[in-house]
Structure 1
Amino acid sequence: MKAIFPITLLASLISASTFAASYSAPQPLVAPSEFKGVHGLAVDHQDRLLAGSVVGNSIYQVSPESGEVSTVIGPDHGQADDIAIGPNGEMAWTGFYSGQVLYRENDDAPIRVLAEGKPGINSIAFNQQTGKLFASQVFLGDALWEIDVKGESEPRLIKKDMGGFNGFEVGKDGWVYGPLWFKGEVVKINPVDGEMETVADGFGTPAAVNFDSKGNLYVVDTLSGQLMRVDIATGDTELVAELDTALDNLAIDAQDRIYVSNMADNGISQVNPSTGDVRVITQGELAVPGGIALAEDGKTLYVSDVFAFRSVDTATGEVHDIRRAHGSDVEYPIAVGLGKTRLLLTSFSTGTLHVIDRDGHSTIRIIHGLNAPSDAIELPDGSIVVSELASGSLAQLSGAELDNKRTLADGLQGPVQMILGQDGKIYLTEAAGFLTRVDPASGEVKRVAEGLLMPEGLAQTADGDFVIAESAAQRLIRLNVETGERITLAENLPIGFPAGPGMPPSGIPTGVAVAADGTVYFTSDVDNGLYKIELEPAGN
């Protein structure tokens, strides 16, 4: 486990303040972990195991023996959904949100952009005989391209509308083998003319394939959490290992040891293909924690974890999975709102509001087509207000199907997190530096505080003050909107990870919640931990 980010507490608070109090130093409720969701894997010619993270905007080196992780390429060039190693040791990778294919010939060579303007550029692989490079778009596009490694010509379209040609590999026959994410098949494509043939089918959601030195093809199925071996001549499949859902990619080293990544667990495991034995190399309890919401009894903290939706026992720190990406219907949640009987998940990347029953955790409704929603709250009348980053507005959804949509307020400058205040008004943070109040009856917008440094997470204390995460200043403050008085609760916090290309300005928002006893909880977008700050008894 890496060292916890250094945290210091303000030594003195304003004794004359109506909210003067002492807080303990922040302590981890859920321990930090590596990565920020882990995706593409590769083993290079130096036998280094490399791992990519889109949200982490970095490429990492991972020790298979110790699990130690170090950064090889960090922000802003490291955004990597997949990584490929060429026949001469050259490396290429894909920036999913940036839409770029990046490349360098060796560790000391400059990084070059080989292609851009390809949103959702996802998987990438070299032909080991010819050195030709191929890359595919998935989710934000659906196409396979040949990329000129010299950067002298535009990418050549090989085929489009295949069904989500994800983590692929070039076979010794020169065909490109890969999974069709949305069709449950493994196919091969002739890069010369785009001819496509089915190799095997019957998968749930196949995410990636790779060949070993003997020509065996291995497939990871993210829906089932299985690693399978495929006979490419017959299409027969054989179960190799049972893992967990949310698998993303795999790599095979020169000794035919298989490495598998899991985005929901920030995990990489090593699989023995002969025995099916699995050894965890590195893993975390949370993936990319963002917005949080605390149940009324203070015992359960809900965490929107981007690649999962989870709950945390505030007494023990025990983490429970409610949904896992690609093993369920959850869609990259960035925030969670707490209604009387419903949980409200929002995803800016998929434009989704996901409404879940609080008791049985069944899906009530999934609404698509929102403009990069950043948070959602429930009003007393049962309607739901969603903050939209892309439109700078609050959208109110009503009706039995939540299909009546109207603009409640607009002109907002980067709405991030939102709560329903004790006075019945809506309060939200704006990335431009505001704490803003909106009247849900009239839609009137009033900025009640300004000059905040990238405010994100927001919560209200029992006595009506607001706790705000200023991510650009790496601190939590407590604010009285009536007097304008504000104090720092804790500073030098592990928050404020820079947003990568294609991400909103706030990146992954720091979530904040406050319990009735004054305990403050916050998430870290730097080390992926969940922390608490306790209010110390008077006189301490």
Structure 2
Amino acid sequence: MAIKGKVIGAVAAVVFVLGHGISAQAEGYKVETLVPGSDFHGVHGLGIGPDGALFAGSVVGQSLYRVDRGSGDVSVEIDAPTGMADDIAFADDGTMAWTGFLTGEVFARAPGGEVVRLAEGLPGINSLDFRADGRLYATQVFLGDALYEIDRAGEAAPRKIIEGMGGLNGFEFGPDDKLYGPLWFKGQVVRVDVDSGEIEVLAEGFKVPAAVNLDSQGNIWVVDTARGELVRLDPQGGDRTVVAQLSTSLDNLAIDGEDRVFVSNMADNGVQEIDPATGDARQIVKGRLAMPGGLAMVGDTLHVADLFAYRSVDTATGEITDRARMHADHIEYPISARANDRHVILSSWFTGTVQVIDAQSGESVRMLHGFAAPYDAVEQDDGTLLVLELATGQLTRVSGPEGETRAPVVQGLVLPVGMVADGEGGVYVTEAGTGAVSRVDLESGEKTVIAEGLAGPEGIEMGGDGWLIVAEVGKRQVIAIEPSSGATEVLAGDLPLGLPAAAGTPPPGSPTGIAVGQDGAIYVASDLDNAILKLTPQ
């Protein structure tokens, strides 16, 4: 858990020689929690076990959890990395199966048995369910678009049944042995005969239907993630009723033996129980943040790239404001953040996008695609963007109304993660792959190493005294670096940093963001706790 109220005195009475020739003393930093953490790292699939227990899955957290429906207590059922679960299903014999979305694997565990891998090589494997006869089916969505039968023995290769359906997401088999599910990209709810491959449209006009389940009366329940609606469909006439208006960014749902409805919300890191008769919602568990990564300061407001949302935090009170949420607003999985007086720049290595947002209104100014795993971006005074691309090891200068002109400033960077402008024609860059912090001259492209031998440097920001503040994640600490001499000192250690990246994703999966307030306070994103820490100089 986050360290609270602990004074780190590692640098007490250490004299710093500042770049402008003035001496100062670092007297340690008090580490507090500005925004408390939560149990999940984004919550997705839900499943009801044979004993009525509620299970939830997290992709980024790579874990499958058991959730106490009464108390909201959460415990890990299947640990990382095997527990990555985008969806969860139970067979009549109690066997639990789940999908590893990023790794492309399907796993199962019989009651009292060991975890068995049933399939692999299926990137984007998403939803799954058992038929009445015990056969298992699963779909690829986002990183593919197909329906498969999965061999429960794990011996035969998955059998492809249909492809190009339009994103068959959270589905369930009905009592008629047909598959009921949503087509994410078509706004439809469909019934699929998995034997013939016939697809029948039951309802359409949804904005983004994410999951479909059936209750004991045959009613069809749908969650629309873009509208935040829980909808009941009449199986006969197709009449629809919005039973509950919830927050957007819904992901999945499950219905227990008493027809109680449970929904997950990825942006809220939460699970709710919905009364199907009244639509009343009871929050079982909820987080303040989803998966905080990049941080950026504008005045006294902290802007947070929160993976499933873009949020701001009042640093005086810790109050959080939702500025945009995934699948409802115009953002694409924001992972990194940088800001100037006018704009907040969000980057996402997952979608290859860089987005410029008006810092005051929250309106999107422009969204640029086609980058190679962008991990950070800086906007210059003339609107030119500097984009740090991890996949190519390149710092790219981007100009033009649509970002159509792109040219390398420097190449050969090894896992570049964070970047900050120095205001003097250069940028400082962290390279997690080499453990170095370097200055890059934007005119010549010359790179000068100022500190090396670090363990996984990620987030970087400029302190008010000209020192660089860096998250050295490999040692779970925040350090200060004097740019002209390379002198390095620890400001705070033993921090909850360093969530392992999922297999097949670039390290770090979620970069540790750093921001510095006008009063000298340092803000750090804790990926382990889903929290934001505040480091106050003493």
In 2, Cα distance between the equivalents of 1:436 and 1:181?
44
Q: Which residue pairs with 1:122 in the alignment?
A: 126
Correspondence for 1:507: 509
Residues 425 and 467 (structure 1), Cα distance of their counterparts in 2 relative to 1, 3 Å cut: same
Amino acid at match of 1:348: W
Q: Matched residue of 1:310: which SS?
A: strand
Q: Partners in 2 of 1:235 and 1:439 — Cα distance?
A: 63
Query: Equivalent residue for 1:224?
Result: 227
Instruction: State how 1:391-540 maps to structure 2 within 5 Å.
Output: 391-432=392-433, 433-536=435-538
Q: What does residue 20 of structure 2 align with?
A: none
Distance 1:307 1:322 in 2: 11
Shift of 1:485: 1.7
Alpha-carbon distance between aligned partners in 2 of 1:376 and 1:447, rounded to the nearest angstrom: 20
- Residue 78 of structure 1 pairs with residue 83 of structure 2: yes
Cα distance in 2 for partners of 1:424, 1:476 equals 26
The answer as to 2:29 corresponding to 1:28 is no
Aligned in 2, Cα 1:330/1:516: closer, same or farther, shift over 3 Å? same
Q: Deviations over 1:475-517 (max 9, x none)?
A: 1111113222211111111111111222211121111011232
Contact 2:3/2:32 (CA < 8 Å) preserved in 1? no
- Partner letter of residue 15 of structure 1? V
Aligned equivalents of 1:420 and 1:44: distance in 2? 52
Counterpart position of 1:308:
309
User: In 2, distance between residues paired with 1:422 and 1:65?
Assistant: 54
Instruction: Give the whole-Å Cα distance in 1 for the aligned partners of 2:405 and 2:190.
Output: 42
Cα offset, 1:287, TM superposition? 0.6
Q: Which moved more, 1:311-320 or 1:373-382?
A: 373-382
Shift, 1:410, TM fit: 1.1
Of residues 50, 54, 59, the one that matches 2:55 is 50
Change over 3 Å in CA distance of 1:316–1:212 after alignment to 2: same
- Is 1:39 the equivalent of 2:41? no
Task: Identify if the C-alpha distance between structure 1 residues 17 and 340 changes in structure 2 by more than 3 Å, giving closer, same or farther.
Answer: closer
Residue 304 of structure 1: how far off its partner (Å)? 0.2
**Whole-Å Cα distance in 2 between the matches of residues 484 and 492 of structure 1?**
23
Residue matched to 2:179: 176
Deviations 1:188-239 (CA, angstroms, capped at 9, x unpaired): 1111121111011111100001111222111000011000011222222111
- Distance (Å, rounded) in 1 between the aligned partners of 2:205 and 2:6: 54
8 A contact 1:10–1:488 mirrored in 2: no
Residue segments in structure 2 that go unaligned for 5+ positions in a row: 18-23
Q: Offset at 1:103?
A: 1.3
The aligned amino acid for 1:185 is: Q
Q: CA deviation at 1:4?
A: 4.1
Tell me: CA distance 1:54–1:160, structure 2 relative to 1, closer, same or farther (3 Å).
Answer: same
State the 1:452 CA deviation. Answer: 1.0
Partner secondary structure for residue 472 of structure 1: helix
What is the CA deviation profile of residues 358-384 of structure 1, one whole-angstrom value per residue up to 9, with x for unaligned ones?
A: 232211221121111111101233210
Cα displacement (A) at 1:6:
6.9
CA separation in 1, counterparts of 2:89 and 2:447? 50
- Cα pair 1:428 1:436 within 8 Å, conserved: yes
Separation in 1 of the partners of 2:8 and 2:489? 9
What displacement does 1:15 show?
2.4
Q: What displacement does 1:24 show?
A: 3.6
Provide the rounded CA distance (Å) in 2 between the counterparts of 1:363 and 1:485. Answer: 40
What is the number of equivalent residue pairs in this alignment?
530
Residues 88-145 of structure 1: per-residue CA shift (max 9 Å, x gap): 1101111111111111112x42222211111111111111x21111111111111111
Provide the C-alpha distance between the structure 1 equivalents of 2:8 and 2:424, rounded to a whole number of angstroms.
30
| 2-structure distance, mates of 1:161, 1:184 | 15
| Amino acid of the structure 2 residue aligned with 1:43 | I
Q: How many angstroms apart in 1 are the aligned matches of 2:168 and 2:455?
A: 41
Summarize the Cα distance change of 1:188–1:7 in structure 2 as closer, same or farther, 3 Å threshold: farther
After superposition, give the CA deviation of every residue in 1:241-295 in whole Å (9 maximum; x if it has no partner): 1100000000111111111000001010000101111000111111100000011
CA distance in 2, matches of 1:193, 1:226: 32
User: Residue 474 of structure 2 aligns to a residue in which SS?
Assistant: helix
CA deviations over 1:41-100 (Å, ceiling 9, x no partner) = 001112221100001110111111111111111111011111111111101111111111
Identify the residue that residue 267 of structure 2 maps to in structure 1: 264
* Mapped partners of 2:171, 2:446: distance in 1: 52
Question: Which TM-score applies when normalising by structure 2?
Answer: 0.96
- Offset from partner CA, 1:421-441 (integer Å, 9 cap, x none): 243311121111111221111
Q: Is the 8 A contact 2:37 2:530 kept in 1?
A: yes
Q: C-alpha separation between the residues in 2 aligned to 1:396 and 1:254? A: 57
Three-state SS of the structure 1 residue aligned to 2:218 is coil
- Within 1, Cα distance between the matches of 2:243 and 2:249? 17
Query: Would you say the 8 A contact 1:6–1:493 is kept in 2?
Result: no
Distance across 1 between alignment mates of 2:273 and 2:385: 44
8 Å Cα contact 2:4-2:31 kept in structure 1: no
- Matched residue, 1:113: 117
Q: CA RMSD in A?
A: 1.4
- The amino acid that maps onto 1:75 is A
**Aligned runs of 1:261-300 on 2, under 5 Å?**
261-295=264-298, 297=299, 299-300=300-301
State the distance in 2 between where 1:256 and 1:455 align: 49
The partner residue of 2:9 within 8, 11, 32 is 11
Moved over 6 A (4+): none
Task: Tell whether the 8 Å contact from 1:7 to 1:492 is kept in structure 2 after alignment.
Answer: no
With the length of structure 1 as denominator, give the TM-score of the two structures: 0.96
Q: Distance in 2 between matches of 1:505 and 1:9?
A: 30
**Greater mean alpha carbon deviation, residues 19-28 or residues 129-138:** 19-28
In structure 2, what is the Cα distance between the partners aligned to 1:8 and 1:143?
Answer: 52
